[in-house]
Structure 1
């Protein structure tokens, strides 16, 4: 996808999301009355569906029959916009698909890196002390079965990655995402207690109506941590957040936890939620939104989202970290092909173009006789995306907490941003840059880490 091919309208067909109670009743009545006056639409289809609203306070309302083929969500949204203006708040929204930030619009796919080669960022010299370690919760895909074979992840805990390989033993798409993130965190900030929850184990995607409840489940299970690293979200043209996350974000704001969230990989300024909460009043200290720097550190990666709601940029292109295959090599077949030119219009050797490979999902490769490329992973990988810039930034906050004996993660995050002299230009704006001391830009690692 390019910047004009937005993934912003990935949502559940025929269903809208609304706060439970009086607002839900109002929406049902307003949509039913609108459909009654609109030829071809059946008001009897308007009804609440799915489980009753729980802690998230939201419910799904069916506004059409998917079997009829027509998506009636736009009609339903138009039916309540005028009333929303009178009430002064948004009452209804699409039930978005929330996805890991490489999904739907990937920065790229992982590339094998030499098992004996260096990681990038390299491991900091800081030691692990369980008495003072900073608590970090990674909400993502789970941990690969052999993650403990990687020394930096020896004390990481959490959920297992489900269904690592298919029936032919080939690595499934996006598995290892949570393990890669945990290893980045452990490298930049070794004095961390990292818990990885497999909230997004189902191909990295979940409906917004379910996501809020799953976030509550994660923090209820382990307690509210110092830092949440979240490399997932959804683009949306809505400017006041996601109805499905209202309750969670409100509770977050009253806690001491800092949410560090990926800005997304659509090469767009369309808000990507929940990262975009960083730009809303009342959330500036509780949410740190992170875009991605390119591999040479000379500017923004071609795929990174941008805009005033993105608070900082961190390395996010061709990072090297742990994936899988430590105990036995694992094959992977590329899903997407690289391009002849950058799909976002960048003029450097970006991940759209390099390293070259052909993917199974790309149109036209059959006619040329090209077969999808297969590679083998045996431990380390290079991977790109704001998915990985976010945990780098989260780790820098954690490292500052350890270095300055800071107990407040939000104060540490604010101090980190205030202390960085680094700036880079992103679409005409000068933005803060967070660089780990052990991170090496591309020219310095090109011979050690061939791609």
Structure 2
């Protein structure tokens, strides 16, 4: 049975994508979310093969016939992916989809002969799978300072490092925060609901851009609103959107991506395969979040860093807890995570500084860490009651509302990622390095700091201006 936070997040995704029936996978676990009744295949001959094999396979299923199998949308040009309907999307419930499972089984033999995957679920790629991202934002004093603090540095248009943030868009008043005055890109859509209350994940992209600007002032930051729909997008659309994100201004030096999904496999996402192949042949470095599931299961696209053909093109980033000495409770981990950076209770601009804006919490905090850690983590502190939790528990408790006036504290691998993207950019400026992939190698090989994550000693990238946040240790770390 999927845990409470995942159930709540699933409901939030379904509300934001009302025309796309969703299921949990695999089989009511908290690993990923996918579209019911549909699978993905590469355009052309492979798509036809998938259709034929699924039709043959489904003759053995009661209630499923060959008539269910058909193209579910136009073939794309850039990502090279076709959606194929293999069953009734309205059949069954959120606990899984037997038609999709049957379609995957139908291709196993053919995949074995081909030596590669031919079919895939259509996963939901999200900035938050079950941890929202690590927590929800908490107001920080308007008179305070970002953490990491602003690095002293001079902006030089001729040498500035191009950083592309693929996320939610920029808040309408983002330029009222001086470090973001030069940032450009897409606007955040639908900042507030009908009552003027900030919607969930609004400000995520602005917060990330603020972290990059703090660590690396000599940057040209562009933010794309690829993930405006509650921070989620179907895999079938994600590859195309990634291509669109680089089309307007060309491939950047560094791309910061704080989104992804697991898929139960070790060979990547079918829907982004074409984009990743093109990325591999560019000079851009993709810095990608490892995810917030407290899991060792590969999280894509970050886990491309573990594939030999992409190890120089992708840097996967996990999160350290507030003191920077151990992994944050929510952070994914494993050999595929190549570096860790502070990612708990960082401080950046959530909104602009023009006027206070209210926010109502969506998830309630826990009495103890939901991942079994025993320090003062973001699962339980600061305390608040949320809308989605109370809806599920049918209680009369009133959700907590707060006011944001600019700064916020927020946690997640979502935010460790732009810290590292900024450190790569700052290294390029300081060492007059023009190759971001070479800068990645230099930064990691020259790093002498480590942290402990699940018993392993891992590279820890801590910006010089980052200030540790005190941690109350209840028992030795998990």
Aligned residues between the structures: 444
Kept after mapping to 1: 8 A contact 2:260/2:300: yes
User: Residue deviations 1:96-154, cap 9 Å, x none?
Assistant: 00011467643100000000112100000111111110000000000001100001001
CA distance 1:40–1:6, shift in 2 (3 Å): closer
User: Paired residue for 1:260?
Assistant: 287
Q: CA separation in 1, counterparts of 2:454 and 2:393?
A: 38
Kept after mapping to 2: 8 A contact 1:7/1:105: no
**Residue 320 of structure 1: SS of its match in structure 2?**
strand
Q: CA separation in 2, counterparts of 1:426 and 1:419?
A: 20
Q: CA separation in 2, counterparts of 1:229 and 1:237?
A: 24
CA distance 1:280–1:93, shift in 2 (3 Å): same
Could you tell me which of 295, 302, 316 is aligned with 1:275?
302
Gaps of 5+ in 2: 7-27, 472-478
User: Residue deviations 1:295-342, cap 9 Å, x none?
Assistant: 111200000000110000001000000011511100000000100000
Task: Please tell me whether residue 56 in structure 1 is matched to residue 79 in structure 2.
Answer: yes
CA distance 1:356–1:12, shift in 2 (3 Å): same
User: Paired residue for 1:441?
Assistant: 468
Stretch of structure 1 that moved more, 281-290 or 96-105 = 96-105
Stretch of structure 1 that moved more, 12-21 or 320-329 = 320-329
Could you tell me which of 55, 64, 71 is aligned with 1:32?
55
Q: CA separation in 2, counterparts of 1:188 and 1:63?
A: 48
User: Paired residue for 1:448?
Assistant: none
Kept after mapping to 2: 8 A contact 1:7/1:104: no
Q: CA separation in 1, counterparts of 2:457 and 2:334?
A: 11
Kept after mapping to 1: 8 A contact 2:170/2:203: yes
**Correspondence list, 1:78-157, <5 A:** 78-101=105-128, 105-157=132-184
**Residue 309 of structure 2: SS of its match in structure 1?**
coil
**Residue 361 of structure 1: SS of its match in structure 2?**
helix
User: Paired residue for 2:209?
Assistant: 182
User: Residue deviations 1:241-261, cap 9 Å, x none?
Assistant: 001011000000000000000
Please give the TM-score of this superposition, normalised by the length of structure 1: 0.95
Task: Please tell me whether residue 8 in structure 1 is matched to residue 31 in structure 2.
Answer: yes
User: Paired residue for 1:191?
Assistant: 218
Please give the TM-score of this superposition, normalised by the length of structure 2: 0.90
Kept after mapping to 1: 8 A contact 2:32/2:261: no
User: Residue deviations 1:149-205, cap 9 Å, x none?
Assistant: 001001000000001000000000000000000000000000000000001111111
**Residue 337 of structure 2: SS of its match in structure 1?**
coil
User: Paired residue for 1:427?
Assistant: 454
Kept after mapping to 2: 8 A contact 1:7/1:235: no
Could you tell me which of 190, 198, 208 is aligned with 1:171?
198
Q: How much does 1:365 deviate?
A: 8.6
Kept after mapping to 2: 8 A contact 1:3/1:344: no
Task: Please tell me whether residue 219 in structure 1 is matched to residue 246 in structure 2.
Answer: yes
Q: CA separation in 2, counterparts of 1:304 and 1:3?
A: 15
Q: CA separation in 2, counterparts of 1:298 and 1:98?
A: 30
Q: CA separation in 1, counterparts of 2:62 and 2:330?
A: 43
Q: How much does 1:349 deviate?
A: 0.1
Q: CA separation in 1, counterparts of 2:179 and 2:406?
A: 13
CA distance 1:297–1:104, shift in 2 (3 Å): closer
**Residue 303 of structure 2: SS of its match in structure 1?**
helix
Q: How much does 1:68 deviate?
A: 3.5
User: Paired residue for 1:447?
Assistant: none
Task: Please tell me whether residue 300 in structure 1 is matched to residue 327 in structure 2.
Answer: yes
Q: CA separation in 1, counterparts of 2:75 and 2:397?
A: 50
User: Paired residue for 1:341?
Assistant: 368
Kept after mapping to 1: 8 A contact 2:38/2:89: no
User: Paired residue for 2:67?
Assistant: 44
Kept after mapping to 2: 8 A contact 1:188/1:436: yes
Q: CA separation in 1, counterparts of 2:157 and 2:249?
A: 16
Q: How much does 1:443 deviate?
A: 3.1
Q: How much does 1:52 deviate?
A: 1.7
Q: CA separation in 2, counterparts of 1:64 and 1:362?
A: 32
Kept after mapping to 1: 8 A contact 2:68/2:85: yes
Kept after mapping to 2: 8 A contact 1:6/1:266: no
Could you tell me which of 269, 277, 284 is aligned with 1:242?
269
**Correspondence list, 1:373-388, <5 A:** 373-388=400-415
User: Paired residue for 1:449?
Assistant: none
